[in-house]
Structure 1
């Protein structure tokens, strides 16, 4: 998962408002957590440490790089742990809650492996550093952030128009021209959505950009893979935004069974059910499928990314996998990534 500041990653993939007046969804206590200096500091410390480890390795100081990268992984895990209250209580996203909970033990285990001498994990650490370098400009440079959000909102609105809906765009709670101005008296739920940074797909772009940038391969192949991944993510993400943006106000999932289930067991507001089902369950589940598909396409163009992916599988399962041999691309194996039998 890409490293981002707390404020950006905490935002739901589509902000939710009443179609009339904007309503803040984050309780004061959670806002304090998400915008706290500690949470932001953890994000910055982790990414700077990952970058530092990559530089140390580049200069040939592998042992110091392992130690620094190990520390970065621990901080990285703590950062995601601070996001659990938001994902559980406000975003009400089981998938993100579980991922955030799993991040700390998995990150700690990665640090343990690095301290134990698994130097191949430095490549995965470098990939995370590049993910941060790709994400941070969108998070920290206002003109980039504004362009991404408002361009995504405009293109999402155009997609809605193609389907016969033209609500117009007005300023959302985040201060950007990104809110779909549905008339609350005409819609089923009286709710609408607005585009936030994570709606732009920048997180997924950072993941693949970081993986591709971290490996050694001909520039032409890396650029081809990056361009393909960005294009596919952008198009799929627009479809996702259109789906959520229409499902929420028009109550596509306001069936009695779903409303009862989410209000009783998830504490959801009744008129928010369509948003939660479309966003937290359908869209997020399909996003996982899409990421797997894009990974396959990237691997076809840049098989070298299998090296960090092998380490991801080892962290998750404790079993060595030789993906290069399995996919018959042994010639693309980096010199620093021995086969499973040699490790």
Structure 2
């Protein structure tokens, strides 16, 4: 979502979203945005592929999932103009452009026999089932956005700022009502779906739901991941929400980069630096740290992660060995004598997996 022009916000105020939305395109199929239609088509195909694999039809599942990966890649590519022209995020733009060839390659590997990628496909199916209802069901989206805005405002109050909340450009009570005459840049921000952390929560929720592991360990790993994401996301929102109006990064070098190389207004510099560079870069570091915490409890997620690395590099990896972790699938440390038998030990995997479906 692009910043509001001055004439559509409060007098003298320019508003930025704290983060770019996942699906904003003018193209549509009937009344459904093209990106939404592609996302639902891909996730639906992933779900069907997981179901028919569960019934033993592995080859049809591979071919269906292969096609779903291609559609999924096209979905991400349709978002590239938005992230480049409106959000002006180099990281998100590069990721959306790279998604199509990577997804197409994943589909090719599936179609040519790499059956292990069905687990990664299943994880993406669960991710979509967690994320898409939030993005597309108004009552859920409203609750999540406004709750996140209220919690972010509380974080600002702890730091001595109490601007109040008012209706943002998206129609929710999510805009931080800083007085433009009292701030450095005259800008402010508002919360949208992508600011809630639901995307990262969906990633870990999908991985945790997809792997075969005892339900007890899954029940520990999921709230741990969600709790850490929730806290770090609020810190990020407070940081961006204060950096933008108070001009924390309005130094000449940053203004030059924003105006000369990114075509942004000078007073938007602090927002761009805080959101597009600092917050997004640290988010990658945070995701790696959360991944490490989760795999300590649920090492089974290493399997789909190894497939991700294979897609990216073309090289097979043993992440447990690379991390110096000899771990069993019941969460304990492996012994040399029992390492080969660990995948058959512990509580009934099949029963737990069925309960998670």
Select the structure of larger CA radius of gyration. Answer: 2
Which residue in 2 is equivalent to 1:112?
108
SS at match of 1:32: coil
Greater relative contact order: 1 or 2 (C-alpha under 8 angstroms, separation 6 or more)? 1
Task: Select 1:224's aligned residue among 220, 226, 229.
Answer: 220
**Matched residue, 1:184:** 180
The separation in 1 between residues aligned to 2:281 and 2:59, in whole angstroms, is 39
Cα deviation code 1:282-316 (max 9, x no counterpart): 00000000000000000001000011001001001
From 98, 109, 113, the counterpart of 1:102: 98
The 3 A distance-change label for structure 1 pair 37 and 155 is closer
8 Å CA contact retained: 2:65, 2:110: yes
Q: Give the unaligned 5+ runs of structure 2.
A: 18-23, 331-341, 345-357
Question: Once the 2 structures are TM-superposed, how far is the Cα of residue 144 of structure 1 from its aligned partner?
Answer: 1.5
Q: How far apart are 1:33 and its partner, in Å?
A: 4.2
Provide the residue aligned with 1:293 in structure 2: 289
Distance 2:115 2:54 in 1: 13
For residue 6 of structure 1, what is the aligned residue in structure 2? none
Is 1:82 the equivalent of 2:78?
yes
1:20 to 10, 35, 39: 10
Taking the TM superposition and a 5 Å limit, the aligned residue runs for 1:259-298 are 259-298=255-294
2:218 & 2:231 partners in 1: Cα distance?
Answer: 20
SS of the equivalent of 1:179 reads strand
Output aligned runs, 1:107-256, within 5 Å: 107-256=103-252
In the alignment, the residues of structure 2 paired with residue 17 and residue 298 of structure 1 have an alpha-carbon distance, to the nearest angstrom, of: 43
Pairwise CA distance, 1:37: 3.3
* Residue pair 1:16, 1:193 contacting (<8 A) in 2 also: no
State whether residues 33 and 82 of structure 1, in contact with CA within 8 Å, keep that contact through their aligned partners in structure 2. no
Contact 1:17 1:192 (8 Å CA) reproduced: no
Q: Number of residues paired by the alignment? A: 320
Question: Distance between the aligned counterparts of 2:25 and 2:67, measured in 1?
Answer: 27
For 1:322, the equivalent position in structure 2 comes to 318
Structure 1 gap ranges (5+): 1-10, 336-343
Greater Cα shift, 201-210 or 40-49: 40-49
User: Could you tell me how far apart the structure 2 residues matched to 1:237 and 1:118 are?
Assistant: 36
In 2, Cα distance between equivalents of 1:238 and 1:331: 33
Alignment partner for residue 56 of structure 2, among 38, 57, 60?
A: 60
CA distance in 1, matches of 2:302, 2:125: 17
Q: Judge conservation of contact 1:17–1:193 (CA < 8 Å) in 2.
A: no
| Mapped contact 1:17–1:194 kept (Cα < 8 A) | no
244 and 33 in structure 1: CA distance in 2 versus 1, 3 angstrom threshold: farther
User: What does the per-residue CA deviation read over 1:182-234, in whole Å, with 9 as the maximum and x for residues that have no partner?
Assistant: 00001111100000011110000000000000011111110110000000000
- TM-score, structure 2 length as denominator? 0.85
C-alpha change, 1:216 and 1:178, in structure 2 (3 Å) is: same
TM-score between the two structures when normalised by the length of structure 1: 0.89
Is 2:26 the partner of 1:32? Answer: yes
1: CA distance, partners of 2:295 / 2:5: 40
